[in-house]
Amino acid sequence: MPTKFSRLLLTTLLFCLLQNFATAQSNPEEAGVKACLENYMSGMGDRVEKAFHPSAFMKYVDINTGEFKDVPIADYITRVKAGTGPGKRTIGIQSLNIEGSAANAKIKIETETAILYDYMNMLKINGEWKIVSKIFSRVNK
């Protein structure tokens, strides 16, 4: 008769195997979605532009005034291209959801002075993943 320890060990092993199987069954669209997000996260003008659909928009609430802002993505891209690059920061994907031709992602950006959370909505358009909307929040340190 198996001991409690051996049953626990067997259950743990089974769980690990199932977890590995689930990870191996990742969404086939994940690589394309991540490639689009990598372009955005690069902070480099041409790559950022490539990540967005031309009709995309960016919406947020100004942290200083509390005013709602609705910015055409072309204005945002112009600012990115005019900048000196992303500067010192850490950036990474916090969560990613993909269903068919739609996806959304949460991205955390941390600088010396602020933490930002970007929420990206994406669509697969003509075989290519594009960000169609971005909202974000900012918290100053």
- What is the residue range of 53's domain? 28-140
Report the percentage of the chain scoring pLDDT > 90.
77
pLDDT tens for 62-106 read 999 999 999 999 999 999 999 877 789 999 999 999 999 999 999
Q: What is the mean pLDDT of the chain?
A: 88
20 within some domain:
no
Angstrom distance (rounded) from CA 122 to CA 37:
9
Residue 126 belongs to domain with CATH number: 3.10.450.50
Provide the number of structural domains found in the chain. 1
1 within some domain:
no
Q: How confident is the model at residue 18 (pLDDT cuts 50, 70, 90)?
A: very low
14 within some domain:
no
129 within some domain:
yes
8 within some domain:
no
What confidence score (pLDDT) does residue 25 get? 53
18 within some domain:
no
State yes or no: pLDDT of 122 exceeds 50: yes
